[in-house]
Structure 1
Amino acid sequence: MARVLVLGGTAWLGRLIAASLVARGDDVTCLARGASGDASAGAALITRDRREPGAYDVVGGSHWDAVIELASEPSLVTGALEALAPAAEHWTLVSSVSVYAANDEPGADETAALVEPTDLTDYAHAKVAAEQATADRVGDRLLIARPGLIVGPGDGSDRFGYWAGRFALAGAEPVLVPGRARQTAQVIDARDLADWIADAARSRVTGVVNAVGDPLPLEEMLALAADVAGATAPLVSADDEALVAHGVAPWAGPRSLPLWLPAGYEGFARRSGERYRAAGGRTRPLRSTLVDVLADERARGLDRPRRAGLTRAEELEVIAALADG
């Protein structure tokens, strides 16, 4: 039985990681504010604000077989390293593929250049700074996991779930989709990612790993989402210029078309996942993920306010404007 400390562990991915470790019989402690909820059943929760003095006093004097860090804010990362790194046998930093400086090379691996961390208020820059600080302190005990787009039930970003939910809401009515050729989607189910992080921490996997699924043409992913939703919606395709002209943003956020990547991002959803698979990483069938995501979307409300995507009214307005030329 390993003693594992999860820095976080009450929000979506962290909670899944803690649950996966508990299921393996480990002694799991989560250190978090608790603002996102409670820890998984079987995991102990120590409620602390990591920005406050003495936040690590309760756990800092202990030996840990593994520490798993989910934060991106460099001050949180460095504070944890100072308090905990000397007594940790293995350290996992959950980073992101957003750290890469370029997104135009399909198949790029973990050796690709990173952004220069000059603006620590930017997510990618903060993650690079966190990677560098952790590598300096932990050395060869470190696993840097760089997930791609994390999806699955419970996802609060509303990006991937938009499509299953939208097809279910539209039924036989039209749905707006991006029209640029060679679009791809590359996702990883949060449950598969959590299981791999738990296994990697226990078996002390080290190095840098892109934790990504296999790239899939976006049109195939959309067809699968429509099929899972039982929709017969006709697709209204619009190219990048038309979408921008009608005030639609790419990828995420309000009035966006989720997962649409504009020109120049051909490599973003085509990162190499060879190291992930070599390190024991697995991915469940995308249909299985979509079935669970659709159930979650229905439970949360198909026409609810969303963090990403077009409202149904906005979408129909764009479709009408496209038809008018």
Structure 2
Amino acid sequence: MDILLLGGTGFLGRHIARVALERGHRVTCLARGTGEPPVGVEFVVSDRDREDAYDKVAMRSWGSVVDLTSHPKHARDAVEKLDAEHRVLVSSSSVYADQGSVSVEFDPVVDPLDVDCMESMEQYPAAKSACEAAYRAVEGPVLVVRPGLIAGYGDETARSGYYPWRFAHPTGGDVIVPDPTFPIAMIDAEDLADWIVRSAEDGRKGAFNATGHATTLADVFTISRELTGSQATARPLTDEQLLACGVSPWMGPKSLPLWVPGEPWRNVALLDCAAACEAGLQVRPLRETLASALRYEQERLGERPAGLSDEEEVALRKCVAAGG
């Protein structure tokens, strides 16, 4: 099958391209060219903001078009200008209006963004919702995938790799962590990519949630410690202590990833994935995903985009000791 991957140089896109190639498909990646394309693909450099973005691929008929965009105009142009027997939009669980519940596919989503391009991460849920609307409007089979937290090798956000890396590089006898009982689920990018490619082969249509098995941060901490053979112990701090000392939740600089304070966000990482599992989605053990994420962190060059730096963790201990 001829697969056109709109993207392919980022985290999930590279995994999709690799899986598709391994399964014998011909893969073309259309992207700006800011990253290295996977070996073996046909690479078309193009800026999707331009009106002629699809000129080099619009004259071909594709077995499946796989789109990872977060910009509504990109989605609208892709469905209008590209001929395909099957289409896949990789959306996000962020589209659900109620982020505090364990969402199922028929739950309400946020209103679509009414501008062409997302300008900030605050617009991300509405932007993905608009992309979904564009793809649902096209004739023919369309698969909309709503992943939860995507993890493993290549996780550019550093969310899934932070705790294994921190236990491997402790700044003291303990590693500061958030509430161990916080529910968490994550899906390995390789498992998600495999299911997306197989679904394209099958012409699957409809909306599907996709994440891993529900667990807690306690398991993440335990596995991280075991993977690294670390002698450091996990030192949980309360939400109040972390916020008082200026620690951010979930991701980004000076953060403790995978944690969000407040009961309304308690289940933000969880999804009902029964439909996808019935449709063949398989997820590997969390230990394997965290090991892959650690391997990527050990290869990373430059600053880590999430978590606490050594200096920040040391300062956090002092802040807590001072009653901050």
State the TM-score, normalizing by the size of structure 1.
Answer: 0.93
Correspondences of 1:192-203 after superposition (within 5 Å): 192-203=191-202
**Distance change in 2, residues 1:171/1:240 (3 Å):** closer
User: Where does residue 95 of structure 1 map in the other structure?
Assistant: 91
Structure 1 residue ranges without an equivalent (≥5): none
Residue in structure 2 matched with residue 145 of structure 1 by the alignment: 145
8 Å contact 2:96–2:103 — kept in the other structure?
no
CA–CA distance in structure 1, aligned partners of residues 63 and 168 of structure 2: 45
Partner residue in 1 for 2:300: 300
Letter in 2 for 1:311: S
Shift of 1:296: 2.1
Match of 1:160, SS state, is coil
Cross-structure match for 1:73: 71
Distance 2:12 2:178 in 1: 29
* Aligned 1:36-47 pairs, distance under 5 A: 36-38=35-37, 40-47=38-45
Residue 217 (structure 2) pairs with residue 218 (structure 1): yes
Query: Which residue of 2 is the match for residue 188 of structure 1?
Result: 187
Q: Residue 174 of structure 1 contacts residue 236 of structure 1 at CA under 8 Å; is this kept in 2?
A: yes
CA contact (8 A) 1:163 1:222 kept: yes
- Segments of structure 2 that go 5 or more residues without pairing to the other structure are none
Two-structure CA RMSD over aligned residues (Å): 1.6
Contact 2:171 / 2:310 at 8 angstroms: preserved in 1?
Answer: no
Q: CA deviation at 1:91?
A: 0.4
Between the aligned partners of 1:239 and 1:36, the Cα distance in structure 2 is 39
Paired residues, number: 316
* Kept after mapping to 1: 8 A contact 2:177/2:237: yes
Q: Contact 2:86–2:141 (CA<8 Å) still a contact in 1? A: yes
Change (3 A) 1:172 1:254: closer
C-alpha distance in 2, partners of 1:57/1:293? 37
C-alpha separation in 2, matches of 1:26 and 1:224: 36
Shift of 1:147: 0.7
8 A Cα contact 1:110 1:208, kept in partner:
yes
Q: Give aligned-pair identity as a percent.
A: 40
| 1:307 to partner: Cα distance | 1.1
**Match of 2:143, as an amino acid?**
L
Quote how far apart the aligned CAs of 1:172 are: 6.1
Whole-angstrom distance in 1 between the partners of 2:113 and 2:65: 27
- Aligned-partner SS, 2:265: coil
Q: CA deviation at 1:182?
A: 3.5
Q: Indicate if the aligned counterparts of 2:88 and 2:200 stay in contact, CA closer than 8 A.
A: yes
TM-score (norm 2): 0.93
Could you tell me which residue of structure 2 aligns to residue 114 of structure 1?
A: 109
State the AA in 1 paired with 2:108. A
1:15: how far off?
1.4
Per the alignment, residue 27 of structure 1 pairs with 26
- Which protein has the bigger helix share? 1
SS of structure 1 residue aligned to 2:108: coil
